[in-house]
Each structure stands twice: as structure tokens, then as C-alpha cells.
């Protein structure tokens, strides 16, 4: 069965996850996997990171990514795996909407980290509209 991010069971599962693991491509071709906070909707996963991180440098050079969300449970082992190309979000209106969603999901922790409700200037936002989605145990 072809899976999509918009599938109800995938949406419900992602709503229970605090982090996903984002894998980017290093300059030598090896993967770099990092946990990241995220916001999901039926079309995309949105993530924010400090602009100076290796994962962001990797994305600027090669936007191919793989993202994994997993249950972390032996009794209920499940995962959603998706891939495609990350796109940076630069539209201020879209950023504001997504920042509000992320602040709500990670309240009050993200607001404390940012010392307010605006995305700091040293951060970038990027989205994955998955080219493919697979599940495991679902």
C-alpha cells in the first residue's frame, strides 16, 4: 500500500512524537543523523535549526534528507520513515504561522530557549514535503 504523510494513522502517530531523526548528506557522502523538534501537517514536516550547524550546511549543499519517527517501545514498535528534498522557508508570513505552531507544540520550552515568541535571527526554517513515505509496524 502506498503511504502518504496525510494518512490518518501517520498523522496520529506523529502527533505523539516529540522529536524525529533527520538525516542529511555529509560532503564525503556519509549520513549525518540528528534529533530535531518538528511540526507536521498533512503536507509537510517543518523543522528549525541554528543556521551555523552542520546539518544546515549539508542541506544548503545537498537538500536530500531522510526523516525517521519511531515509537521507542519494544511492546509497540512502530515507525514512519520519509524522504525527499528539504526546502528552506523564507516567506515571512509562512514562517510566522509555522513558528506559532512550533511554539504551541513545545510550550513553554521553545519560548524559553528563544527568550520570546519570535524565531531568533540565527535560525533557519526548512520543510520536507515527502517524495515517499514508508511505515514499519503500522
Question: Per the structure block, which three cell numbers stand in for 1?
Answer: 500500500
Q: Between the ranges 68-72, 76-80, 130-134, where is the mean pLDDT highest?
A: 130-134
Give the DSSP letter string of 33-86.
EEEEE-EE-SS-EEEEEETTSHHHHHHHH--EEEEEEE---STT--EEEEEEEE
Please say whether the beta carbons of 78 and 138 come within 8 A: yes
Span 3-13, pLDDT tens digits: 999 999 999 99
pLDDT the model gives residue 76:
85
Least confident of 25-34, 55-64, 71-80: 71-80
The CATH H-level superfamily of 8-90+122-136 is: Electron Transport, Fmn-binding Protein; Chain A (2.30.110.10)
Q: What is the pTM of this model?
A: 0.92
Q: How confident is the model at residue 19 (pLDDT cuts 50, 70, 90)?
A: very high
Q: Taking residues 74-79, what's their average pLDDT?
A: 89
Q: Where are the domains of the chain?
A: 8-90+122-136
Span 104-129, pLDDT tens digits: 999 999 999 999 999 999 999 999 99
The CA-based diameter of the chain, rounded to the nearest angstrom, is 45
Amino acid at each position: 500500500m502506498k503511504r502518504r504523510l496525510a494518512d490518518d494513522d501517520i498523522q496520529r502517530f506523529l502527533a505523539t512524537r516529540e522529536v524525529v531523526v533527520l538525516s542529511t548528506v555529509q560532503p564525503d557522502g556519509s549520513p549525518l543523523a540528528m534529533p530535531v523538534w518538528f511540526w507536521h501537517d498533512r503536507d509537510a514536516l517543518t523543522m528549525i535549526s541554528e543556521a551555523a550547524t552542520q546539518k544546515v550546511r549539508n542541506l544548503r549543499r545537498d537538500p536530500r534528507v531522510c526523516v525517521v519517527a519511531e515509537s521507542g517501545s519494544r511492546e509497540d514498535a512502530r515507525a514512519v520513515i520519509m524522504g525527499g528534498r528539504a526546502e528552506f522557508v523564507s516567506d515571512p508570513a509562512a514562517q510566522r504561522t509555522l513558528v506559532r505552531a512550533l511554539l504551541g507544540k513545545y510550550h513553554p520550552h521553545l519560548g524559553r530557549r528563544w527568550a520570546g515568541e519570535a524565531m531568533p535571527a540565527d535560525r533557519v526554517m526548512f520543510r520536507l514535503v515527502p517524495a515517499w513515505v514508508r511505515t514499519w509496524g503500522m
